[in-house]
Structure 1
Amino acid sequence: MPPNTTNNSVESVSEQFQKLDLKTLAREKGNYQVYPRTNYPPLEPFEHYDPGKLADPKKASLYDNAERIFDLTPSIGTEVHGLQLSQLTDQQKNDLALLTAERGVIFFRNQDLDPYQGVEFGKYFGRLHIHNIVGHPPGLPYIASIFYNEQDPQTTKLFESRSADEGWHSDITYENQPAGLTFLKVSIIDTVPGDGDTIGGDTIWASAYGAYDKLSKPMQQFLEGLEAVHTGQVHKDNAQRTGHFIRRDFVDYVHPVIRTHPLTGWKGLFVQPGFTKSIVGLNRKESDVLLKFLFNHIAGGHDFQVRFKWTEDTVAVWDNRATFHCAIFDYFTSGRRHGWRITPTAERPYYDPNSKSRREDLAERAEKEANSQ
């Protein structure tokens, strides 16, 4: 039985009378998104049970059945070949949750997962989030659709006027209980010239564990115990710019600057330019200086980042509690992208003063293993 099943009040997938083929719809119609003027009530607190707690530390159900599993960088990013997410067993889902918590982001190419399967798959990992403003396919409010092309001058102008490093974020941290695992399937990549190679549109992920480990000890100690305000102001501004309806009020929430991951027990940095507004207890100038330093630290941390080149029908699974990500909008003159995202939510962020850094924990494990031989 999945750990998270009684969690969503919107109609179930079984009640959908006609399944949409989003890839075909996007190719034939273009931007099919709807923006219903639906009022949703405030999100209620809930007790999150992480399926990664049921995982095998060796993740044998994945490693014994995949054709190949390999790391993309020492710090973050792993690619899995030979498994279909649509066919994973419960134990494989549990092991995937732990693997993602440890490695930050996992990539699966050539996936047949459709949005209806994606909704059911996502429910296993947490209560699904319906976004306050973004568009979704008709009848599928849990799907956040992504569609960008060169024929949308308003979107092109918006992103070309922003510095790329402003795009770093972790998903929906302005919520009381933000995202845990997130799933994004990119199903259309059209580029010019059309020789089959992907041109542009990469996504970068950064490790929150690595970001913490690269700070000096005095800075780590200063940040531990501090809290920051997270806001959805950027989405409110976007709704005003586009005229889209805000379906649920945005409420600012306060979260720890250093967060402990419940599965790994590792400390990670938990601020980012997308949604972090200020540091609690510091005056405005102090807060701005500190946040600017931390934002630059994330953007410049190439030794704890992975840059991924998409291919059609690839799914990325990442843990927002342990990563930041940034989409690279460099393809507006050469093509379009389409994809869809599922966002399970997790526990309220917390800091455990007894938790360890990844570097510290792995060093202790290695020493213990060496002494036992």
Structure 2
Amino acid sequence: MAPIATAAPAEALVADVKKLALVDAAPLPPAPAPASIPAGKWFSETGLPESEYPYAHLLPTWDQETKYVPLGEFTHVDPGHKAKADADPRSFLAGGAVDDLSPKFGSEVTGVQLSALDTHAREQLALYVAERGVVVFRDQDFIDQDPRWQVDNWGAFFGRNHIHPTSGQPKGAPELHLVYRAPDSPYNFPFKQKLNSKGWHSDVSYEAQPPGLTALFLYDSPPSGGDTLYLDQREAYNRLSPSFAAYLETLQVVHSGFEQAAYARSGERGPERTVRREPVKNTHPLVRRHPVTGEKALYVTRVFSRSIVGLKQEESDAILNLLYDHIENGIDFQIRARWKPRTVVLWDNRTTAHTAIADFDSTPAKRHGARITPQAERPFL
């Protein structure tokens, strides 16, 4: 299936993609059928030795030699635009069941297989995720699809696949950003330096064209714990007084990847950490508009936002800290996604923020998963 995101001449896009990932991208074999894992269970619950872990070929690796050139610009057209013309833009949910996690934000879907959606259904899906912000899909066979299909067919439909500059990746599929915490891992839980694991962020907002529709799925997880919190930056914006919101709409914020790169180089999360693409800073509007729904959302998080352009440091800090406290404490526009085996969580990275919860540090379980992160348009208002 051809990608929705294109750059002007097709041959230029191909050349650009080849420059972005200077790695051996040979197809990976599909994950072995996990016949030894009972239905509805994680591998960590089986008591089987790690030598029988069916997703060992998707464990993180850190290539110390590969380097990527800077990301170039590309034209992005969100597939959700086409679904707006449908008489029933949620017909792809026919036969499934929907449970809204809160009135305005977040839904859980059963009975719909993401891997079976055709082009039209994917367009509707893009609109649906844009509207609900976060959608949790249960009982998916998506996890055992070939990783190259996940990247080249699924991810590329929604934008240009992002390759993370520092994270671990499975060999042969650098576009899969891996999450991994395990008792025997040197890059693990942050509690030696922090009281909790809170780290609200929108993924790689320091890029010139940050991600749009994003997918995360776990190969293994603790039986309980390791949930993900999501917050609605649209409702966070709507809660502001009109005069303050109007002022914020005049402001631009610097988002930086330099601190993330420095942390990787420091070795604080293990000796394998590396920086494969040099860090960047980009300036984005503090309030951005969604290209399909037209909704406005705050676009700041404590992890990557650094300063407001044109303000003195004390002024910038005062406004940003107020907004950080507002969104992080906004329990009225947050939801908690509970991970279960064979779950895929989709969210719109333009209008949401999230944080993992590392509350399973006292258990022997690992948390191992992959994120597919298609880039979207440059933020605008």
For Structure 1 versus Structure 2, the TM-score category normalised by the shorter chain is: 0.7 to 0.9
1:19 — aligned with what? 29
Alignment partner for residue 225 of structure 2, among 200, 216, 226? 200
Change (3 A) 1:27 1:266: same
Name 2:181's counterpart in structure 1: 148
Selected match of 2:163 from 114, 125, 130: 130
Q: Residue 270 of structure 1 corresponds to which residue in structure 2?
A: 299
Q: Quote how far apart the aligned CAs of 1:83 are.
A: 1.2
Q: Is the 8 A contact 1:108 1:314 kept in 2?
A: yes
Listed as ranges, the matches of 1:115-264 within 5 Å are 115-119=147-151, 120-156=153-189, 158-159=190-191, 161-164=193-196, 166-190=198-222, 198-242=223-267, 243=271, 244-264=273-293
Residue aligning to 1:39: 67
Q: 2:119 aligns with which of 69, 75, 90?
A: 90
Secondary structure of the equivalent of 1:124? helix
Runs of 4 or more above 4 Å deviation: 5-8, 22-26, 28-31, 163-166
Residue 4 of structure 1: aligned partner = 5
Whole-Å separation in 2 of the counterparts to 1:280 and 1:17: 44
In 1, Cα distance between equivalents of 2:217 and 2:367: 11
SS in 1 for 2:221: strand
2:258–2:280 Cα contact (<8 Å) kept: no
Is 1:289 aligned with 2:322?
A: no
Q: State the 1:232 CA deviation.
A: 0.9
Inter-CA distance 236–346: structure 2 relative to 1 (3 Å threshold): same
The structure-2 alpha-carbon separation of the partners of 1:97 and 1:26, relative to structure 1 and needing over 3 Å to count, comes to farther
Q: Secondary structure at the match of 1:155?
A: coil
Contact 1:211–1:268 under 8 Å retained in 2:
yes
1:139 & 1:26 partners in 2: Cα distance? 21
Distance change in 2, residues 1:296/1:111 (3 Å): same
Q: 1:23 to 1:293 in 2, by over 3 A?
A: farther
Unaligned runs of 5+ in 2: 35-50
Residue 16 of structure 1 and its aligned partner are, at CA, apart by 3.1
Residue ranges of structure 1 left out of the alignment (5+ in a row): 191-197, 352-373
Aligned to 1:53: 81
Matches of 1:76 and 1:20, distance apart in 2: 34
In the superposition, relative to structure 1, how do residues 164 and 254 fare at CA in structure 2: closer, same or farther (>3 Å)? farther
Q: Is the 8 A contact 1:166 1:274 kept in 2?
A: no
State how far apart, in whole Å, the 2-side matches of 1:274 and 1:164 are: 15
Please report the TM-score for the alignment, with normalisation by the length of structure 1: 0.85
Return the letter of the residue paired with 2:202: S
TM-superposed CA distance for 1:145, in Å, is 1.2
- Alpha-carbon distance in structure 2 between the residues aligned to 1:250 and 1:23: 39
Offset at 1:160? 5.0
Counterpart residue identity of residue 3, structure 1? I
How far the C-alpha of 1:141 sits from its partner, in A, is 0.6
- Specify the SS of the correspondent of 1:294: helix
Q: TM-score, normalised by structure 2?
A: 0.83
> Which residue identity is paired with 2:216?
L
Higher helix share: 1
Partners of 1:33 and 1:153 in 2: CA distance? 13
Q: Distance in 2 between matches of 1:135 and 1:62?
A: 34
Q: How much does 1:3 deviate? A: 2.0
| Structure 1 residue 240, shift from structure 2 partner | 1.5
In structure 2, the CA distance between the partners of 1:166 and 1:116, relative to structure 1 (3 Å rule), is same
Given the superposition, is the C-alpha separation of residues 318 and 20 from structure 1 closer, same or farther in structure 2, using an over 3 Å criterion? same
Q: Deviations over 1:290-340 (max 9, x none)?
A: 111111111111111111111011100100111011111111111221110
Tell me if structure 1 keeps the 8 A contact 2:90–2:128: no
- Report the secondary structure of 1:330's partner residue: coil
Q: Which residue number corresponds to residue 355 of structure 2?
A: 326
| Residue identity opposite 1:34 in structure 2 | T
The alpha carbon displacement at 1:49 in A equals 1.0
Alignment partner, residue 37 of structure 2? none
Which deviations, in whole Å up to 9, do the C-alpha atoms of 1:61-87 show, x marking residues without a partner? 3232x3212211012101111111111
